[in-house]
Chains A and B, each alone.
Chain A
Amino acid sequence: MSQSPVALAIVAAIVFGTILFALLAVRRIKMDPSQYIVGGRSFGTIFLWVLLAGEIYTTFTFLGIAGLSYSGGAPAFYVLAYGACGYAISYFITPAIWRVGKECNLLTGPDFFEARYNSRTLGIATAILYFLMVVPYVALQLSGLQILLRIAGYGAYNATASVCIAFLVLALFVFTAGLRGTAWASIVKDVLVLGAVAFAGIAIPVRFFGSPSAMFDRVTAAHPAILVLPTGSAFHGTVWFVSTVLLSGIGWSMGPHSFSATYSARSGDSLRRNAVLLPFYQAFVTLMIFAGLSAAMIVPGLKGTAVDQSFLLVVQHYYPSWILGLIVAAGALAALIPASALLLAGAAVITKNVAGDVFGIATGDAARTRLTRILVLVVALLALGFWLTGQRTVVELLLLYYNGIAQFAPGVFATFLWRRRATALGVGAGIAAGLAVAIPLAALNITPWGLNAGLVGLGANVATLVILSLIVRPRA
């Protein structure tokens, strides 16, 4: 146990050092709502890159992908596939969203719905849904952080208090630094994460098997079926794979923080350049699959949620504590930095679309920045409370996020593809129908014909949108 302070000290030094670095980087920036929430719409290709790349490398990358590779094998490949599909779609859709954001001076995702459908009601309804999705998604990052810190502490402590401290420091950081601070912190995070991913995916297979290729020989010999998908409608089979890739690709740019990142671009072309380049960066996720499969050979027998710790346990058992510290620090930043973007987007949605549009408070620039800052802290406390009280329901409500976020896509796409006919009523009812179908199916683990529940919901969503928009004409 004498090792434990070394790893934890490295994690603490890197996390707090990164936050300090980002605070210093933004100390001269004067904050108005546009600067605070969407970085003054001034981010060029590189700044945008680190911000958007944050969405690829979250705590899910560190724990979930390796864990899914460990327990399931080939189904984990879907993460690689859907990101590339997401970028192929975002090449077209994000510059279009950006242009609307620039022309109408939009700050949040719900603003987009409100402006394009000329309906404040739709803006408010989407704002509330986005808010309900952000809280459990932030709470999930906290669960990931707790797993990481427990491993860095060599199981000697529970880490709940450390998670609370780290998260409150993060909330104060967002309070001060806004989206630009998140982008600066992402630079440090990306460098560390790439190093950690390369170590996990290359150094581990080389040390234990000689090469990644030899690792695959071992895996195929031990579990011949694990590197292909079950066929047809079986659990995690090919039907599930195809439908999940499509659903997740469609939902890729629809999260509340994705709208913030899109608005923050300097030009549509910086978004296009990122859509072209980011799949290369995403290809590195392959290494996490290597790490998870290696762990399945080195430390077999983990069950249930313990699989999320797979390759980290290998590092903990076989490598010096400073390496464990560096890797956990990268994972901790991968949990905290995306959480900071989510906090900001969640707070902005409430300030602008609920407080401002419903109650008419904090509509001036100074008041709006102040209220967003206060709400960052409120959202952080809510997420923390949610995490502390109901850790089991986090997983259930997470289904709301993954299946829910894609339900916003038809309404966004329709404003460009079907502008003259799509109505606010159709879009709103479509989202409601999509959620009403997808959430119960996902919660009860029902997969019709092996299809992803969210994609079934998306079908109901599009059908409702089209039928209602055609039948019910808005009063002129």
Chain B
Amino acid sequence: MRSMLRLLLAAIPIAALSIAVPLVNRIEPRILGLPFLLCWIVAWVCLTPVFLWTIGRLEKRW
């Protein structure tokens, strides 16, 4: 159960950065001046550490 949760946590950013991209392939709304597609990708790159850190917490590594 717990190992499924860990894999799911890793799969979320991967899915957001790959298969979800066709759904967010647009310029508007611009966020902080960035076109929406670029902003989505940058945001998920920065969120990836949060997910991986949470997995490490679940594994009691830190």
A residues apposed to B, CB below 8 Å: 74, 77, 80-85, 87-89, 91-92, 211-214, 216-217, 220, 224, 227-229, 231, 238, 241-242, 245-246, 249, 269, 272-273, 275-277, 279-280, 282-283, 286, 289
Contacts and interface: CB of A to CB of B under 8 A. Distances in A.
A220 B26 CA distance: 12
A89, A216, A277, A280, most chain B CB atoms within 10 A: A216
A277 B26 CA distance: 29
Given A81-B21, A227-B35, A272 B13 contact: no
A273 B42 CA distance: 20
B5 interface: no
Given A77-B41, A84-B48, 15 more contacts: A74-B37, A74-B38, A77-B38, A80-B41, A81-B44, A84-B45, A88-B48, A88-B52, A91-B52, A213-B30, A213-B32, A242-B22, A249-B18, A272-B61, A280-B46
Contact of B41 (A81, A214, A280): A81
Nearest to A81: B17
Nearest to B50: A276
Given A216-B34, A272-B56, A276-B53, A87 B48 contact: yes
A85 B52 contact: no
B35 to A, nearest CB: 4
Interface of B: 10-11, 13-14, 17-19, 21-22, 25-27, 30, 32-35, 37-38, 41-42, 44-46, 48-49, 51-53, 55-56, 61-62
A220 B35 contact: yes
A242 B21 CA distance: 7
B5 to A, nearest CB: 13
Given A81-B18, A88-B52, A216 B41 contact: no
Classify the interface of chain A: helix, strand, loop or mixed: helix
Contacts of A77: 37-38, 41
B50 to A, nearest CB: 9
16 contacts: A74-B37, A74-B38, A80-B41, A91-B55, A213-B34, A216-B30, A227-B38, A229-B21, A231-B25, A242-B19, A242-B21, A249-B14, A272-B61, A273-B62, A275-B52, A283-B45
Contacts of B44: 81, 84
A444 to B, nearest CB: 25
Contacts of B41: 77, 80-81
A92 B10 contact: yes
Contacts of B35: 216, 220, 227-228
A81 B22 CA distance: 13
B49 to A, nearest CB: 5
A85 B18 contact: yes
Contacts of A241: 21-22
A84, A231, A279, most chain B CB atoms within 10 A: A84
Nearest to B55: A91
Contact of A279 (B19, B30, B38, B45): B45
B51 A246 contact: no
A248 to B, nearest CB: 10
A217 to B, nearest CB: 8
A77, A217, A242, A273, most chain B CB atoms within 10 A: A77
Given A280-B49, A283-B45, A229 B37 contact: yes
B27 to A, nearest CB: 5
B25 A88 contact: no
Nearest to A213: B33
B14 A88 contact: yes
Contacts of B10: 88-89, 91-92
A91 B44 CA distance: 16
Contact of B38 (A85, A92, A245, A286): A286
Contact of B33 (A80, A81, A216): A216
A238 B27 contact: no
Nearest to B51: A88
Nearest to A245: B18
A242 B52 contact: no
A74, A246, A277, A280, most chain B CB atoms within 10 A: A74
Contacts of B56: 272, 276
Contacts of A91: 10, 52, 55
Given A216-B35, A280-B49, A85 B25 contact: no
A286 B56 CA distance: 27
A272 B27 CA distance: 35
Contacts of B62: 269, 273
Question: 3 tightest CB-CB pairs across the interface, nearest first?
Answer: A213-B33, A81-B17, A238-B22
Contacts of A83: 45
Contacts of B22: 229, 231, 238, 241-242
Given A91-B55, A238-B25, A279-B46, A227 B33 contact: no
Contacts of A279: 45-46, 48-49, 52
A212 B33 contact: yes
A205 to B, nearest CB: 10
